[in-house]
Structure 1
Amino acid sequence: MPILIAMAGALVTGLVYWIQYGHGLEHIDQSLRDWRTGRRRRASESAIRSSPLKALRHPADMAGLLMTLVAHQRGLLTPEQEAEILSQLRAVAEPGDDLDTRMVVIRHAADQAPDPDTAVRSLAPHLRDCLSRSERDHLSDMLWAVATVHQGPTMAQERFIEQVRRAIHEDR
């Protein structure tokens, strides 16, 4: 027991000397500053990466992004999947819309999305507010149509579609 007390005393004495003579407080302060800076940097990078998601204001763009993310659950976006997304968008877009330009914006937002969960969390409140119940059901059908390209949906696509469906149908 006395040995443990002596070791604790030596440890406390060493800590006091390090703080007083070894500039310990400066080291601690610098470590805390680095930790805070890293946390702020990560938050800033996340905000920068999700800004294309927040820039989408039209429900058709949001639907296109979600359809693109469903296609990405299988892998890279194939021409067949993109054709299906365009046909689904053509059904909901106003006449005269430039769907090619819209697809460029959608692809960019999908590439910049940190992860599909973040995209769903950021888009769901706006979709919930601007779409009626039947339009939200139609969005789920559009997601299923994209998922069925290439021999039906994968488990990841089914989980993602269910996550989107729950997020846009949940009541606050």
Structure 2
Amino acid sequence: MPIIAALFGALIAGLVYWIKYGNGMEHINNAVRDWRSARRRTASERQIGSAPLRSLRHPADAAGVLLELVARLRGVPTPEQEAAILVQMRGIVEPGDDLDKRMVVIRHAATLAPDAKAAIDALAPILRDSLDSSERSHFARMLQAVAEIHQGPTEAQERLIAQILRAIDEDR
């Protein structure tokens, strides 16, 4: 036991000496500053990544981004998934609307989304305010239709769809 106390005392004495005479506080301050700047940088990158999501105002764009995110849970969307998303989007956009331009914006926003939760947080209020109950159930069927491509939805897709629908139905 006295050996452990002597080792502990030597460790504390060495630590105090390092802090007082060996620029220990400078090293500690640098480490804390680096940690804080990393946290700020991460928050900034997250905010920059969610900027395209926050700029969307049309419910069709919000729905398209969420459809794209459901498809992306399997990896890079396949041509079959892209075709299913286009079919679903044609059903909700106004006639004469340029769907190709809209899909470029949707894909860009989905690509830059930091994660699915950030996308849901940014887009659910748009859909919540603009969709009635029948439109919400139609949107749920749209999400399922995209997820069913390639042998049915995965567990991750089912969880994401449930999260989206809960967020849209919130406060109703």
Counterparts of 1:148-167 in structure 2, within 5 Å, are 148-167=148-167
Structure 1, residues 113-169: CA drift from partner, whole Å, max 9, x if none?
Answer: 222232223222332123222222221111112223334333332222122112211
In structure 2, C-alpha distance between the alignment counterparts of 1:148 and 1:9, rounded to whole Å: 65
Partner of 1:28: 28
Deviates more, 1:9-18 or 1:95-104: 9-18
The percentage of aligned residue pairs carrying the same residue is 64
Unaligned runs of 5+ in 2: none
Q: Given the alignment of the two structures, is residue 55 of structure 1 paired with residue 55 of structure 2, yes or no?
A: yes
Q: Given the alignment of the two structures, is residue 75 of structure 1 paired with residue 75 of structure 2, yes or no?
A: yes
TM-score (normalised: structure 1) = 0.88
Partner of 1:93: 93
Deviates more, 1:72-81 or 1:85-94: 72-81
Partner of 1:143: 143
The amino acid across from 1:143 in the alignment is L
Partner of 1:6: 6
Structure 1, residues 34-74: CA drift from partner, whole Å, max 9, x if none?
Answer: 11011111111111112111121111001111111122223
Q: Secondary structure at the match of 1:171?
A: coil
Partner of 1:64: 64
Partner of 2:113: 113
Partner of 2:37: 37
In structure 2, C-alpha distance between the alignment counterparts of 1:89 and 1:9, rounded to whole Å: 70
Unaligned runs of 5+ in 1: none
Q: CA RMSD in A?
A: 1.9
Partner of 2:123: 123
TM superposition outliers: structure 1 runs of 4+ over 4 Å: none
